[in-house]
Amino acid sequence: MNEAFKAQLEADLGNVWFSNDEFCDYHLVDGVKMHVLFDKYELDKNDTSSTKVATEGIYTDQLLIFVPCSEFGAKPRTGRTVILDGKKTYRVADVMTEDGLYRMQLEAVRG
């Protein structure tokens, strides 16, 4: 990949995609304040609902989030627990690295 293009892509991550005025907000992830972009559209596109009913009264809550690798740190392992905003606990169902971002699919069984 062209170095100038890579530099522009990195600048765009911070200045556009992870600008609090545009697409994302700050959230606490495991107690650390960082930029988080929630992508309900992509999750819904791959599944008919972000909430699946497992059995009566119990359901699976799913989220798809993007966080900058530079803010999150080491790539999380599948199965790891993540706590969002000090309230909700999720399990990392899938994680990929895409252009300086972690794309994490999180899920939790709720009742």
Alpha carbon 69 to its chain's center = 11
pLDDT in tens, 7-21: 666 666 555 556 555
Contact status, residue 35 vs residue 68, Cβ threshold 8 Å? yes
pLDDT score of 28 = 96
Closest CA to 79 of 54, 106, 100: 106
- Strands 58-68 and 88-98, how do they pair? unpaired
pLDDT score of 21 = 58
- Locate 75 and state its tokens: 């790539």
pLDDT in tens, 19-74: 555 677 899 999 999 999 998 877 776 664 445 555 667 878 899 999 999 999 99
DSSP symbol at 77: P
Categorize the per-residue pLDDT at 110 as very low, low, confident or very high, splitting at 50, 70 and 90. confident
- Locate 28 and state its tokens: 């606490």
